[in-house]
Amino acid sequence: MYQDIKPSKSFEDLVKLISILRKECPWDKKQTHESIKENLIEEAYEAVEAIENKDYTELSKELGDLLLHVIFQSKLASEHQAFEIEDVIYRIQEKLIRRHPHVFSDVEAEDEKKVSENWEKLKMKEGKKSVLDGLPKYLPALIFANRMQEKVRNIGFDWPDEEGPWGKVHEELIELKQAIAEKDQEHIREEYGDLLFSLVNLSRFVKVNAEDALRGSNQKFERRFRALELLAKVKGKELSAMTLDEMDDLWNQIKQLEKK
Prediction pTM value = 0.72
**What is the chain's pLDDT, residue by residue, as a tens digit (260 residues)?**
788 899 999 999 999 999 999 999 999 999 999 999 999 999 999 999 999 999 999 999 999 999 999 999 999 999 999 999 999 999 999 999 998 998 888 888 878 888 887 877 887 888 888 889 988 888 889 999 999 999 999 889 999 999 999 999 999 999 999 999 999 999 999 999 999 999 999 999 999 999 999 999 999 999 999 999 999 999 999 999 999 999 999 999 999 988 87
Distance CA 10, CA 50 (A): 24
The pLDDT score that the predictor gives to residue 138 is 82
Backbone angles phi, psi at 27, to 5 degrees: -70, -50
Nearest residue to 150 via CA among 67, 207, 74? 207
The distance in angstroms from the start CA to the end CA of the chain is 61
